[in-house]
Amino acid sequence: MQYEGRIVKGIGGFYYVDTADGILECRARGIFRKEKLIPLVGDLVTISVDETTGTGAVEEIHPRKNLLIRPPVANVTQMAVVVATANPKPNLYLLDKLIASAEYAGIHPLICWNKTDLDSGEDYGELYRNAGFDVLLLSAETGQQVDLLKERLKDQVTVFAGNSGVGKSSLLNRIFGTETFATGDVSSRVERGKHTTRHSELAALPFGGYIIDTPGFGSFDISLLQPENVVELFREFTPYADGCRFRDCSHTVEQGCQVLQAVEDGKIASSRHESYCALVQEIRDANKRK
């Protein structure tokens, strides 16, 4: 009997595949090891199940749309970048780096401002909407815009990224209507971190789609980038970078640069440009150490 499904968990040589008949346990066939192809969480697969023994086997891995390295997950469609309007104070560089890593991977970034009960976050909302992003102003505490978040998650495979303490687990508990995801202050989390393994797992949403519950999803490996690639990862810079009359302009300090002009004219937010410059510098520094 053959099934189509999606790998939602991989542990100890077994894969758990979500199919129309529920989650089935499978072993990967040796052939994948020869091809150096390792089934990953998120993979869409064809499996066969032996009627008599009830054992499943992954027969085929369908071509991947994309692949995240940390955590290793295939076919992610969306990154919910979660940031708190207050407590902790927003780290715009981390936020912009996470957005850039989503752009790099070809994953739709969804900007989730949380804790709007502490600070409305209207200004941040406007800043990121003007930059061309889909922005939600959420509160896991009051439930504000959680209905909109559910709409955005429906039928997508979403990874939640963001600093610890911003409320990712609290939002997920709101979405699932349970207390499945452990929340709390930093000290208890550190304690827990020691005992939990860090394998990725997809959790099926009751209304369709999956979320990836991996603690501490980080931004991308900057060694993959060169300074001149960074501008493509800041979507609202594109028209100005394309119009910049300097060849090989780094759009950081050059007199007469169109990107810098757009920052001066208020068309590009200065905080976004600061993040851009910081990321370019981080890559240059990393290159020097090579």
Ligand X SMILES: Nc1nc2c(ncn2[C@@H]2O[C@H](COP(=O)(O)OP(=O)(O)O)[C@@H](O)[C@H]2O)c(=O)[nH]1
The contact pattern for ligand X, residues 169-208, with x = CB under 6 A and - = no contact, is: xx------------xxx-----------------------
Instruction: Work out whether 230 is an interface residue with Zn ion (CB under 5 A).
Output: no
Neighbours of 7 (CB within 10 A): 26
Instruction: Work out whether 115 is an interface residue with ligand X (CB under 6 A).
Output: yes
Instruction: Work out whether 251 is an interface residue with Zn ion (CB under 5 A).
Output: yes
Smallest distance from ligand X to CB 253, Å: 36
Binding-residue total with ligand X (CB under 6 A): 17
Task: Kindly report the backbone phi and psi dihedral angles of residue 70, in degrees, each rounded to the nearest multiple of 5, phi listed first.
Answer: -125, 105
How far is it, in rounded angstroms, from Cα 136 to Cα 114? 8
Smallest distance from Zn ion to CB 38, Å: 42
Contact of residue 127 among Zn ion, Mg ion, ligand X, none (CB under 5-8 Å per partner type)? none
Out of 145, 169, 258, 275, the only residue in the binding site for Mg ion (CB under 5 A) is 169
Closest CA to 213 of 82, 101, 46, 125: 82
How far is it, in rounded angstroms, from Cα 247 to Cα 6? 46
How far is it, in rounded angstroms, from Cα 114 to Cα 166? 7
Contact of residue 257 among Zn ion, ligand X, Mg ion, none (CB under 5-8 Å per partner type)? Zn ion
- Interacting positions 214-273 with ligand X (CB under 6 A): none
Strands (E), 115-261: 134-137, 157-161, 202-204, 210-212
Contacts of 99 (CB under 8 A, 6+ apart): 81, 109, 111, 133, 233
Residue pair 267/260 in contact (Cβ under 8 Å)? The answer is no
For tokens 């989503």, name the residue: 102
**C-beta of 87 vs 226, nearer to Zn ion:** 226
Smallest distance from ligand X to CB 188, Å: 9
Contact of residue 114 among Zn ion, Mg ion, ligand X, none (CB under 5-8 Å per partner type)? ligand X
Q: Is the peptide bond before 88 cis (omega within 30 degrees of 0)?
A: yes
Query: Which residues are at the interface with Zn ion (CB under 5 A)?
Result: 244, 249, 251, 257, 259
Query: Which residues are at the interface with ligand X (CB under 6 A)?
Result: 114-115, 117-118, 139-141, 164-170, 183-185
Query: Which residues are at the interface with Mg ion (CB under 5 A)?
Result: 168-169
